[in-house]
Amino acid sequence: MAAKIAFIGAGSLVFTKNLVRDLLTFPAFQDCTIALMDIDSERLAFAKAAVQNIIAAGEYRNTVLEATTSREEALTGANGVVVTILAGGFDVYRNDVEIPKKYGVDINIGDTRGPAGIFRFLRTLPPMLEICRDVERICPDAIVLNYTNPMAMLCRALQSETKAQVTGLCHSVQGTAAMLAGWIGAPMDEVTYTCAGINHQAFYLDFKWKGKDAYPLIRRAVENDAAIYNEEIVRNEMFLYLDYYVTESSGHNSEYNAWFRKRPDLIERYCTHGTGWNPGEYGAIIKYGERMKNNWQKQMEAWRDAPVDLARGGEYASYIFNAAFGDGTLFAFNGNVRNAGLIDNLPEGACVEVPVLASRKGLSPIHVGKLPDHLAILVNTSARCEELAVEGALSGDRRKILHAVAFDPLTSAVLSLEEINNMVNEMFEANREWLPQFDKGINA
C-alpha cells in the first residue's frame, strides 16, 4: 500500500519543498501521497505550486498531491507526519527578545531556551498538543517528526502527554559535523562520531577520521587558522576550554551560558564578528523576521519558481521514513527523546538528544552513558530549567516559569531575582492572549 506523508505547517515553503524532493528520490515513495496542510491558504498555495514543480520535473507520475487547510484531512491515513509551525508570528515573537533587552538580557535568537525560548514554548505547546492528540486519534501508528522550536521543551511535553511516536530533528548535528570535517580536510564518508546532550547543547563525545581521534586536528585548525577561528568564535572558545565541540551555532550558544553576552565588551570581543545570525547583534532573528514579513510574497515567488534540483539533500526525515515504512534500510540519526537511562548524568525523563536507530520497528534510542563531568554541569542547568518550564506549562503554574527563567545562566548573570520577576510578569502580560493554560492549566 502506498505511503502517505502529511506536512503540518506546509507554508514553511523552503523546508517543505526540499523535504518533498528528498522523499521522492526514494523509489518506495514515488507513488506516495503528499498531503500539505497550513492554516494560511495563501502560503499553502505557494507550497502546492512548488511541490507540483518538483513532481513535474522528476516525472513522478504516480505521486499524489493534496493541499488542505483541514488537519484531519491531511492526517487521515498518514504513515509519517512532519510538523513545522509558528505560534503567534513575528509580531508577538518580538516581545520575547525586546522585553528581556529592556531589562539588560541581550538575546540574539531566542527560540530555544532562556526567557525568550520559554515564552515561545508556552505559546507553541497548546497547538502542538492538539496536533499530536489528533495523530493519536486519526493515525496512531504514524511517526511524527518535529522541526518546530523550542525543540527540547516541546518534545519533552509531547512525549509525556501523548502517545504519538514523536521525535525532534535539528540540522545542527550533521551540519556541524560537516563543518568540522571540512576544517580538517576529511571526507564525510570517512568520519564517525558520537554526539549527545540536549538540543543545541549536544557535544561530540568523540569525532574520528578513519577510526582515529580527529580532535587534535580540529584543535590545531582552530588555534592556527584565523579564518577558522573567526568563523565560529563562541563555539571555538568553548572548544578550546571545554575540549569538546558543541553542535549549535555561535549565535545560539552565546545565549545559552554566562560567558559571552553578559557585558557589552564581551559581546564585542566574542560575538560581534562571528558568522551565522550575526551573533553579536541583539535580536538578529527579529530583523530577519521583519524582512520575511515585509517581503514574504516576493521571497515565496522566488523560492517557488527557482530551478528544480532533484538531487537528494542531507535532511534526515526522508531517510527515517524510508527506514520505518519505505524500503526498510536502517538509518541512525540524532533525535530528541526522553531520557530513560540514555545519558546517566542528565535528569531522568528530561528531553535529550542522542543517537536513534530508525527501522521497521520504529525509533529506538541508543544508550550513551555519562557526559564528561564539566559538560554535565552546563547541560544539566539547561535541562533542569527546561523541565521546570514544561511542568509550569502543563500545570499553569507561573511560579515554575519564574524559576525556570531565574536559573537561566545568562539571565541570572545579568539580573537580580526582583528584576527577573518583573521581567517575567511583563512577558506574561505581553503574551496574555496566547497563554490560556495559565487560566486553569493546560490539562484541566
Please say if 367 is a catalytic residue.
Answer: no
- Residue 65's DSSP bridge partners are 34
CB-side neighbour CA atoms (13 Å) of 194: 11
Pairing mode of beta strands 201-209, 191-198? antiparallel
Nearest to 54 by CA among 10, 16, 27: 16
The DSSP secondary structure of 320-381, one letter per residue, reads HHHHHHSS---EEEEEEEE-SSSBTTS-TTSEEEEEEEEETTEEEE---BPPPHHHHHHHHH
Q: Provide the 3-class DSSP secondary structure of residue 173.
A: helix
* Distance of alpha carbon 5 from alpha carbon 7, whole angstroms: 7
Residue 273 annotated as binding site? no
Tell whether residue 252 is among the known ligand binding residues. Answer: no
CB 96, CB 158: distance < 8 Å: no
Residue 207 · residue 218 · CB < 8 Å? yes
Helix axes 89-103, 114-138, angle to 10 degrees: 150
For residue 81, give the H/E element and its range. Answer: strand 80-83
The total number of residues shown for the chain amounts to 444
d(CA 439, CA 432): 10
Q: Is 149 annotated as a binding residue?
A: yes
Dist. CA 226–CA 273, nearest whole Å: 12
- According to DSSP, the residues that pair with 335 across neighbouring strands are 354
Burial class (CB in 10 A: 0-12, 13-18, 19+), 82: buried
Neighbours of 322 (CB within 10 A): 24
Q: Which three cell numbers stand for residue 76?
A: 487521515
Coarse DSSP helix, strand, coil percentages of the chain, rounded to the nearest 5 percent: 50, 15, 30
Q: What is the DSSP letter of 116?
A: H
Annotated binding site: 149, 170, 200
Instruction: Give the active site residues.
Output: 171
Q: Mark the binding-site residues for substrate, compressed into ranges.
A: 149
Annotated binding site for Mn(2+): 170, 200
